[in-house]
Structure 1
Amino acid sequence: MPSNGSGELGNATAPGAAPGYNFAALIFGVSLILCVLGGNLLVCLSVCSERALKTTTNYFIVSLAVADLLLALLVLPLYVYSEFQGGVWALSTGLCDALMTMDVMLCTASIFNLCAISVDRFIAVSIPLNYNRQQIDLRQLILISTTWIFAFAVASPVIFGLNNVPDRDPTLCQLEDNNYIVYSSICSFFIPCPVMLALYCAMFQGLKRWEEARKAKLKSSLYAGGRKLCCPPPLMERKQAEVKLQERSLYDRSECSFPRGYVMNSGIQTVSYPHLKYSHPGHTQKQAKINGRERKAMKVLPVVVGAFLFCWTPFFVVHITRALCKSCTIPSQVISIVTWLGYVNSALNPIIYTIFNTEFRKFFRKALHVFC
């Protein structure tokens, strides 16, 4: 099987024997390719065309979608072809090495992109004043670029001749070096995943502390000064009051003792914190806050990470076990199942975005309405 060199591509028959065509693998594989292409293409188009989706987190999601698109274009067709041929590799060894390289690189890029997202989210929560939420900045471009550079670095030994061993069987497309299998598995999965999970745990703990501080600051502001303050009115009343005040041009906080930091902004309550903002020449102030859209993104990301771990953990466990345990016999059906399960993950992310993100769901509905 491909993808970080599980050992072999498909379930090979004896050399010289006529392959048994696997039509079930062909139908499932073609369907999977179409789903991966359609779903991830919609993700890329939605972020490019919808202003509401042009957030820094979604640029990382586009990078992840590009990895899945390349997998569907460069890896899955050859893998499906080999599975249809009964697992026999009937093409050149050079093409096999290119397939192994792309498979390792794209799988690694997916994991590294998820790690980059966790780093970006951790920075957004831990040091919000230094985080640019409006557009992608140099730090985020470096993170995205680094994921692809490191992914190619992990995969490059294959294309540079690692598989060229004297006793190589040309009917099998596999990684020939067990040490490289262990190395690539550790670099691609067993190191990034714990780091990613640790960052997410720290991020949500920081977010929880931020929410508690926000509520405490609001409560103390409402009852500070030893005098009764005007409590924020309900949403509709706030909207009506704001419109009337704007029409009369009489909006003055002095008429009603709103707490310091309380602002009416299009009917939405915003609380600014003195310790989370700074002043610079010109007396302008920058407010550090985590808006509702970012909270939604933070809720979606753990689902994406959970789906990835569910799909790829069985493969990597089987994958590294075969390399370390020479006497272990793993049924070919198990190898096939865990490999297909890993590839299915590439089709899941667009579904997750559709379920958990309103903006993505609206765009997908609009796009499907146009094409259907």
Structure 2
Amino acid sequence: MGNGTAGPPPAGAGHSIAALVLGILLILLIVGGNGLVCLSVCTERALKTTTNYFIVSLAVADLLLALLVLPLYVYSEFQGGVWSLSTVLCDALMTMDVMLCTASIFNLCAISVDRFIAVQIPLNYNRRQIDLRQLILISTTWIFAFAVASPVIFGLNNVPNRDPSLCQLEDDNYIVYSSICSFFIPCPVMLVLYCGMFQGLKRWEEARKAKLRGCIYGANRKLYHPPTLMEREQTRLGLLDCSSPYARAGLPGECGMNSGIQTVSYPHLRYPHPGHGHKRAKINGRERKAMRVLPVVVGAFLFCWTPFFVVHITRALCKSCSIPPQVTSTVTWLGYVNSALNPIIYTVFNAEFRNFFRKVLHVFC
């Protein structure tokens, strides 16, 4: 089914039972994992970051998929691909399926936009709390996702000679349109933004290493020299350069320690406006690690959903192409499996998520 034209999957008691067992396990895994993601960001202070609010939006899309779409899809698979419920419910299912799949990739795009801004325009980025721009980004993903899916619920599927025993998208032009809007346009945009983000992050890393080398060298040179009168005065005014061993952490110098996290500021990213001459853009180790998790999330999404959309659009554009029902069923299941992967990825690659999950599991196990 997915948001494609789904013919009946292979019939048989074995297939039906396997679909039922796989479906129930997948629903439980998606609900449990993504529920923990939402709970962890809501309760753990260390996880209340701007990036993680986007991750919560992505988790909500996966949760809704497990609660609103998968049960009916599993029921249909258990019935051998025959739709025995009303066409109105089928249209609602197709709408939710298209919308939530689209919301997932739009949320990934929103994350890429947010991270690109954080790296390329850091002085205008609020790292402490979610701001209006980020709220607009998250809201826009859901509005656009509904806009892509809404034609189905507004009657697009009500075509003459519709077969009520199949729940599928009936309009081939809409299939092409939704595939392009939901996948084939967002994916290249997202990849370009991530390339720009990592180029910027690479520059940050190079500048950080160069500045740290300069700090260590300067500190070693002055290690045994008492502070001069000028240095004491600079320290009092908060203007001492990090090359002096007497620079205090947290002052607007070139480097320092803040809450145990070493931060480095970069002269080429100073505010150009008068009065902001000493304000520098900073990025910490936790944020750099969080950015490196995102390509894994995007890679998993592309691995799971690319086969589905290729089959999906091929069925609409090539009427003479014969795609076996087994292939359609397999790529649809693979797409749904992606909703269970993200919490696993966060657990493997993010220590804060891992610690929270371990703490919750320890309580119940």
The question of a shared fold, defined as TM-score above 0.5 by the shorter chain, is answered with yes
Deviation at 1:12, TM superposition (A): 7.9
Q: How does 1:323-334 map to 2 (within 5 A)?
A: 323-334=316-327
- Report the equivalent of 1:155: 149
Deviation at 1:33, TM superposition (A): 0.4
- Report the equivalent of 1:216: 210
Q: Relative to 1, partners in 2 of residues 1:283 and 1:195: Cα closer, same or farther, differing over 3 Å?
A: closer
- Report the equivalent of 2:39: 45
Does residue 144 in structure 1 map to residue 138 in structure 2?
A: yes
The SS at the match of 2:203 is: helix
Q: How does 1:65-144 map to 2 (within 5 A)?
A: 65-144=59-138
TM-score normalised per structure 2 = 0.88
Deviation at 1:47, TM superposition (A): 0.2
Q: Relative to 1, partners in 2 of residues 1:89 and 1:273: Cα closer, same or farther, differing over 3 Å?
A: same
Conservation of the 8 A alpha-carbon contact between 2:10 and 2:326: no
Q: How does 1:192-211 map to 2 (within 5 A)?
A: 192-211=186-205
- Report the equivalent of 1:242: none
Deviation at 1:288, TM superposition (A): 1.3
Within 1, Cα distance between the matches of 2:281 and 2:119?
A: 10
Within 2, Cα distance between the matches of 1:26 and 1:352?
A: 26
Letter of the aligned partner of 1:263 in structure 2? G
The SS at the match of 1:263 is: strand
Conservation of the 8 A alpha-carbon contact between 1:182 and 1:323: yes
Within 1, Cα distance between the matches of 2:48 and 2:134?
A: 14
Q: Relative to 1, partners in 2 of residues 1:9 and 1:113: Cα closer, same or farther, differing over 3 Å?
A: farther
- Report the equivalent of 2:2: 2
The SS at the match of 2:103 is: helix
Within 2, Cα distance between the matches of 1:198 and 1:283?
A: 32
Q: Relative to 1, partners in 2 of residues 1:19 and 1:99: Cα closer, same or farther, differing over 3 Å?
A: farther
**After superposition, what is the alpha-carbon deviation per residue over 1:148-200, rounded to whole angstroms, capped at 9, x for unaligned?**
00000000000000000111000000111000000000000000001001110
Conservation of the 8 A alpha-carbon contact between 1:129 and 1:276: yes
Percent of matched pairs sharing the same residue: 80
Q: Relative to 1, partners in 2 of residues 1:320 and 1:217: Cα closer, same or farther, differing over 3 Å?
A: same
- Report the equivalent of 2:294: 301
Of 346, 351, 358, 2:339 maps to 346
Deviation at 1:75, TM superposition (A): 0.2
Within 2, Cα distance between the matches of 1:279 and 1:263?
A: 23
Q: RMSD of the TM alignment (CA)?
A: 2.7
Does residue 179 in structure 1 map to residue 177 in structure 2?
A: no
Within 1, Cα distance between the matches of 2:283 and 2:314?
A: 43
Letter of the aligned partner of 2:84 in structure 1? A
Within 2, Cα distance between the matches of 1:77 and 1:368?
A: 26
Letter of the aligned partner of 1:213 in structure 2? A
In the alignment, structure 2 segments of 5+ residues that lack a partner are 225-238, 248-252
TM-score normalised per structure 1 = 0.86
Within 1, Cα distance between the matches of 2:301 and 2:330?
A: 15
The SS at the match of 1:335 is: helix
